[in-house]
Structure 1
Amino acid sequence: MSTKFLYGASVQGIQGFIFQTNALREIAGASELVEQICTSRFAQALGKNITDLSEDRKAMVTAAGNIKYVFENEDDCKKLVREFPKVVMEFAPGITLSQAVIRIDDREVSPTDVNELEKRLRTQRNNPYNPIGLGLMAINRSRKSGLPTIRIDNEINKGKSHIDESLNAKKGNMINRICKAFFGDQFQLKKLPFEMEDITKSKGANYSWLAIIHADGNDMGAMIHKIAQESGTTLNYQNIFRDFSLALDKSTKEAAYAAYAEIAEKYKLDTSEKYAFRPVVIGGDDLTVICRADLAVDFTQLFLIKFEEKTVDNFKGLQIKALQNGLTACAGIAFIKDTYPFHYGYHLAEELCGHAKKEAKGKMQNNGLKPSCLMFHKVLDSFVESYPEIIKRELTASGIRLDFGPYYIHGTDTNKIDTLDTLNIFINEFDKNDGNAVKSNLRQWLSDLYKDKEQSEQKMERLISIGKKERIQGLKLASNKGIIANSKSPVFDWLTLISIKEGGN
């Protein structure tokens, strides 16, 4: 058996590259560039096309900024290691590639090899690199990035725009592979939004709220470890690892498409001039989407359901016991104004997703998987801080926490008060005749809770005494304690989603 070489590459600085500016065209262009690095550009570096790469059994992973490939020729491996970083940096200025190689003598790839490769890649990420295109000090620079200007555009209503190499690559990238996966065969380029207001105006001329959705699969590291334990022979492991990666990537894309298709039909989105969604990342177990705020919770709930279903279906052929129940995922939704710095909104969505994962960890399902759930938060001011700080400053009143989530797909208690379905039932109560009056009283109750707990209790007793019995029962407002469970109240979340639905006020 001949010597082999396990090559690994990891794209660094993806978030900073994609969210460098607040311009949707550039954000979307950057995400497409990152997707192409691991697919078409890597295939070209190997002297293949993208179809050949997808069928190549030596390609273990080529998605979500990660590459693992088995070389059988040392010279071919050396050539790629020498040339590929330059290809990537010229194709997507601002991106850095970490590389590592494991020599494998007279055997197949094993889980130990993959672990060692990941260890070396983490070490490589700490090594400094020399970025291209720094330029001299006395040179015109882009106002957005601070990098040297390569051209000046005269944009309508915006005046002169100084374009650097990175912005030029993002603006010029019109390959919409991510969008085609998300919108399906009916994708129309003319309906693709290139400005944030293109997304919001489908709701109304004065509507200005966006949602940034970030979803991530649960316990992926533990799942890969279980696959390694079950796979048996090392040859089997290499094949299963590859098939697992492809099936996971396929499941994420199919779940995103299926969720969008249902939302588009439910809300008649096909009649809009522009899409109300713009996918940013769809690959591996990751999903990042920008959409009109009022559609976000429904879409995310559907995506989490579809992700569970698609992973069950697509993992069947792998015949791995640990995968027979599929996978679950958690998500975070940040509601922001269309003028709010986008990278801060994305960071908040990522934090909310992490918070949901942490909370779900203590509520394992009978099948041994974390339950799928989501958290959301509406940015109300210009402060930029972590979610734990937001909880302390905004979401705690008189010892009562107002971050009631996460909200689960299937529920984790007998009353199922923590499910998205139950949340939607409560929200629908406010659409009835006296909904506005109840909403106004609950807003006042919240305001009083921040100031004086006893005063808030009196307000709630007053609401219960004068409110319509049917509505009081529907919202479970039998007493002040009726809307407080484990020192948490869902009222803030109710009012948040209602305001987003009505226009954000």
Structure 2
Amino acid sequence: MHEALAQVFQGFDRHTWRIETHDAELLVAAAGRVSVLVKDRVAGQSLVTMLTCRALEEAPGLDLCGAVFEYEEGELGKLLSTAQPQLAAVRHLRPGTAGRFLRLPLVADCASSGLPAEGLRREGDEGPAPRSAEAMKKLAAYPGALNRLSGSVPPDPQRMRKTVDRLGLEADWVAIVHADGNGLGEVFRSVVESENGHDDRTRADALRSLSLGVDECAARALATALVETNREMGPYDVVPVLPLVVGGDDLTVVCEGEVALSFTRHYLEAFEDETAQNERLRPLLDALERPYLGAGAGVAIVKRNYPFHFAYELAEQLATEEAKKVKQWSSALAFVALYESSAPDLTRIRTSVSLSGGSSRSPSPYLVGMGSRDERARGRTWDDLLRRVRALRRRDEQGELLIARGAAHDLREGVCLGRKAAASRFELLRTRYSGDRFRAEALEHLTYDGDLVWTVGDGSESKEVTGLLDAMAALPFVPEVTR
């Protein structure tokens, strides 16, 4: 977008150009969405044409759509409220990306994407393999991507190549983390729909501040999370985290399984801190009486060779269907450690205990940051998860586990049999450990207020949950010590 604007509008500068004195003004550029004000409709059409043509040439699989809408002075807010559904209608009228990759005449399938192959390409020590136009463009962009992702001056692509090789060739477990901001839609609507003296200029400035502010916060939160993860679990030569998307309030990374939960927790806390202090966002948040912005994150931990698109879809589902549903509590993370090889089904995963005859489910999502202090979050915070994991990991002076693995699995089996069976087995174990203070203490750490299974929510929204299953799943992926 920045390069296209500079070509269509000579001398374009995002920070100084305003529509009253120049031919264009960039309002929003975040999370795959761009909003630009232009004086001339033809120039706006040229901008859309340039962007879509470049996408066809440089990223054949990308579905990029743009449209130009006219508005009268004083109606910017109304336009911004209706532009998104109008753009969706325009997109619906266009052919989909599948129309670019015709199957006739018959052609070989791409070895990586399954699309029609454009040619043969050799990668590393492998022999020539058929590759699609999309795959060829991605491979061509790979060296430049390593330079950008290295984050150093001068660029050090070898650092990022080590991370890529580790995640692709060496790691046993990898994780896809997808995080998305909470409450940004409310902030956006407050800017667009406010009638309290908001003219077009005020709205434009507020939208630009929102876009730039969130971008800054996400980038700084990522940097902080990498430092804190290295401090907590390192030292690493290169923290095994590969950023894929860092734009606006969207974050997607691939990382090693053992750092996934720690990294996600640090990112969410840092994002809250950054939005609370950001000068661009402060006036907008003050108007809504919000001290900060939170985010919801989904973490899908899978084996290294598990199909990426399945893992990404699961991470996105965890973020949108679980983590982002606690907006009133700010930031939260939901995770799944997947031991199966089939396509994941989050509903089936979360209800598997119920389907087996039990009644308890995961208390996911887990609250982190400032929202975890809310009374309603008790038993469902990151600290609660950490306490349960450490209880399962604690050992006595002879090195024996305080809660034997067999005892933990026996409790898990009881949970699958129902609340009464779980309570019965828990009481038997509590009686057995009653003479050992340390074992009894570790056992109590698995509970919420003394119960292995408890109820959350009210009325029809209530459900029985237990933290035991998540603690056992997270055991290999939570740091043993905090430096």
Q: Which bracket does the TM-score occupy, shorter chain normalised?
A: 0.7 to 0.9
Change (3 A) 1:160 1:180: closer
Determine the structure 1 residue equivalent to 2:460.
Answer: none
Residues 84-483 of structure 1 mapped to structure 2, 5 A cutoff: 84-105=51-72, 107=73, 110-129=76-95, 131-132=99-100, 134=102, 136-156=104-124, 158-174=126-142, 180=148, 188-193=156-161, 198-199=166-167, 208-228=172-192, 229=194, 232-271=198-237, 275-316=239-280, 319-320=283-284, 321-322=287-288, 325-357=291-323, 359-361=325-327, 364=328, 370-394=329-353, 398-409=357-368, 410-413=372-375, 416-429=378-391, 430-433=393-396, 434-435=400-401, 437-451=403-417, 456-467=422-433, 468-476=436-444, 482-483=451-452
How big is the shift at 1:137?
A: 1.5
The one-letter amino acid paired with 1:143 is A
Distance 1:75 1:359 in 2: 42
Distance 1:159 1:453 in 2: 57
Please give the per-residue CA displacement for 1:130-176, whole angstroms capped at 9, x wherever unaligned.
74453741334423334343331233454332122111111111466
How big is the shift at 1:120?
A: 1.1
The one-letter amino acid paired with 1:78 is Q
Distance 2:293 2:479 in 1: 35
Change (3 A) 1:184 1:458: farther
Determine the structure 2 residue equivalent to 1:52.
Answer: 13
Task: Select 1:494's aligned residue among 467, 471, 478.
Answer: 471
The one-letter amino acid paired with 1:62 is A
Change (3 A) 1:180 1:303: farther
Distance 2:201 2:260 in 1: 43
Change (3 A) 1:300 1:55: farther
Change (3 A) 1:39 1:209: farther
Cα RMSD for the two superposed structures: 3.2
Change (3 A) 1:254 1:415: closer
Distance 1:349 1:461 in 2: 36
TM-score, with normalisation over the residues of structure 1?
0.80
Distance 2:92 2:76 in 1: 26
State how many pairs are aligned.
450
The one-letter amino acid paired with 1:165 is A
How big is the shift at 1:213?
A: 0.7
Compare 331-340 and 317-326 and name the one that shifted more: 317-326
In structure 2, stretches of 5+ residues that fail to align are 19-24, 456-463
Check the 8 A contact 1:218/1:357 in 2, yes or no: no
Distance 1:308 1:144 in 2: 38
Check the 8 A contact 2:394/2:442 in 1, yes or no: no
Determine the structure 1 residue equivalent to 2:461.
Answer: none
The one-letter amino acid paired with 1:126 is H
In structure 1, stretches of 5+ residues that fail to align are 1-37, 365-369
Change (3 A) 1:182 1:154: closer
Task: Select 2:31's aligned residue among 64, 72, 81.
Answer: 64
How big is the shift at 1:502?
A: 9.5
Check the 8 A contact 2:31/2:247 in 1, yes or no: yes
Please give the per-residue CA displacement for 1:252-279, whole angstroms capped at 9, x wherever unaligned.
111111111111233224335xx41101
Question: Secondary structure of 2:404's partner?
Answer: helix
Question: Secondary structure of 1:155's partner?
Answer: coil
The one-letter amino acid paired with 1:424 is L
Q: Flag the structure with more relative contact order, 1 or 2, with Cα contacts below 8 A and sequence separation at least 6.
A: 1
Distance 1:266 1:184 in 2: 22
Check the 8 A contact 1:109/1:237 in 2, yes or no: no
Distance 2:197 2:61 in 1: 39
Check the 8 A contact 2:453/2:466 in 1, yes or no: yes
Please give the per-residue CA displacement for 1:301-340, whole angstroms capped at 9, x wherever unaligned.
1111111111122245662312752211111111111111
